[in-house]
Structure 1
């Protein structure tokens, strides 16, 4: 049975013990997936629960609330992806002032040992945690010798000499280089969510859209894109999508709006996945709605021309196998 927990305090989450991997896991790129799979494999060896541990909001969002960094993935999709990779328990710990003030030593004792009964803890390269980033792999290994758990680190994952990281993926997306982003991710970049009601302005303009909210997070993309929509029928649907604040109609909240070509149906409440193929242009403010529609016609024609060959249909939040292994571990 899978389980999601949010709190530092409380009774044991894994009374039979666990192997824990810790990270931001934003985007679930191959390095993240290798880390999770390492924890899952080691948990199988021990006969205990595999746990993926992260934070929500991410620490960089908490400390940079005035200018939060872009997010690749929303919390629900991150949790679903971690479960799909084999974690039986996912922790998205509330990162607040109390968490920020918790020492690394207290985090080890109260969370890793007290709540999770960790037998091993796995982290990524350069991992730091606790108040003022005072904890690292060496501290985990030192405390583990006393408290009865091992700790290890996954080696950096390289693609054609470049380290795979969420930062590098964000940079590729901002540059509109979706091919490079896909190579780093190990899959095309996409955003999934449940279709919500919008203002229905697109329908009056001849471009009805399926709308996905981004949960108040700052997206890594902004502009107009050629996209494929998965989850509507048996095959991906060609589409043109806008991701931004819709300045012509005085929008505020970032919204992903996908117009599916040659489709007439009700998608409200359906969970879909929007796969990004090419960036068409920046978001801009038009003097009136007529000018906006003229540009939308151009965008749609350009997207249709780009989307001539559909990708393979795939399930939402598919978990791709990835090669990867540990750098080193220390067991008490």
Structure 2
């Protein structure tokens, strides 16, 4: 039913019960997918909706706004990804002072039992929740026995002898190791969004761009990249992209700017996905615009050559 809800408390959403999975789900990597797949399969077996619970902002963003962790995906892309994996409803629960102060037992009673009528709850390894992160699987199981639901944790998903995690993916992206990130994600890394208007300086410099904002979040990568852009034509479109704060022109907010090679058209308002293929260089400040354009020429030539040797793969929005 592709339902989205934000409030942790309120009237029951699933009067006949549900199967719930809980996690940050940033990136929807192989470990997240294993958790969601298990919950969806159990929901289908029980004939009830499958619900995914996550938090927005993420708890780490709420508690440390000055040192926010890099995000792999934006909330809309996360919800769409969870729906695509079979979830019937997604709870992007507002993580605010009230939710941060909610004791673990109150979360179980008020959210899982009363609002969602959970029949089963599935979590990842080492899951913690509630005020002070006092809740764990053992508490879920103990309270579930009283309230009529079962609680279970999936086994860790490992790749190359280590657990698949968002932390590993962020490190791979920072290193420009996109093939490794794709293995951990189960798909190429891409950022999706709706094209917005920028300052149009790129057009004046001969490099018009399709611009995506990152919702005020901290991105997991910055620099200049060879990319494929999905959602423009019947096949992915080759492009060179910059993701950063544009120091030469005094930018502030992180902005993803993709210059599509040999493209002539209006993309404003179009939803696209930018798949990252190779890292070309760091973002840097140039002494003047001619120096910037000369470097952009070199970046474009390098990106064209790399993409000619790297046919596009399927990317997720």
TM-score by length of 2: 0.98
Alpha-carbon shift at residue 311 of structure 1 (Å): 3.7
Structure 1 residue 225 corresponds to structure 2 residue 222:
no
Aligned mates of 2:40, 2:309 — CA distance in 1: 37
Aligned mates of 1:245, 1:40 — CA distance in 2: 40
Structure 1 residue 288 corresponds to structure 2 residue 288:
yes
Aligned mates of 1:96, 1:210 — CA distance in 2: 34
Alignment deviations for residues 264-286 of structure 1 (CA, whole Å, 9 cap, x no partner): 11000101010001110000111
Alpha-carbon shift at residue 3 of structure 1 (Å): 0.7
Q: How many positions carry a matched residue from both structures?
A: 317
Residues 44-55 of structure 1: pairs in structure 2 closer than 5 A: 44-55=44-55
Alpha-carbon shift at residue 160 of structure 1 (Å): 1.7
Alpha-carbon shift at residue 241 of structure 1 (Å): 0.2
Aligned mates of 2:107, 2:151 — CA distance in 1: 15
Alpha-carbon shift at residue 309 of structure 1 (Å): 4.4
Residues 115-154 of structure 1: pairs in structure 2 closer than 5 A: 115-154=115-154
Alpha-carbon shift at residue 15 of structure 1 (Å): 1.2
Distance 1:310 1:232, change over 3 A: farther
Paired residues of 2:188 and 2:314 also in contact (CA < 8 A): no
Aligned mates of 2:257, 2:153 — CA distance in 1: 40
Alpha-carbon shift at residue 183 of structure 1 (Å): 1.1
Paired residues of 1:235 and 1:313 also in contact (CA < 8 A): no
Aligned mates of 1:156, 1:26 — CA distance in 2: 16
2:181 alignment counterpart = 181
Residues 73-92 of structure 1: pairs in structure 2 closer than 5 A: 73-92=73-92
TM-score by length of 1: 0.94
2:111 alignment counterpart = 111
Partner SS state of residue 66, structure 1: helix
Structure 1, 175-184 or 197-206: larger mean CA deviation: 175-184
Aligned mates of 2:104, 2:90 — CA distance in 1: 20
The CA RMSD measured in Å over matched residues stands at 1.0
Alpha-carbon shift at residue 306 of structure 1 (Å): 0.3
Aligned mates of 2:195, 2:202 — CA distance in 1: 15
Alpha-carbon shift at residue 16 of structure 1 (Å): 1.3
Aligned mates of 1:219, 1:11 — CA distance in 2: 36
Paired residues of 1:108 and 1:140 also in contact (CA < 8 A): yes
Alpha-carbon shift at residue 9 of structure 1 (Å): 2.2
Structure 1 residue 197 corresponds to structure 2 residue 217:
no
1:95 alignment counterpart = 95
Q: Which runs of 5+ in 1 are unaligned?
A: 318-332
Q: Which runs of 5+ in 2 are unaligned?
A: none
1:251 alignment counterpart = 251
Paired residues of 1:240 and 1:259 also in contact (CA < 8 A): yes
Alpha-carbon shift at residue 310 of structure 1 (Å): 5.6
Aligned mates of 2:145, 2:282 — CA distance in 1: 54
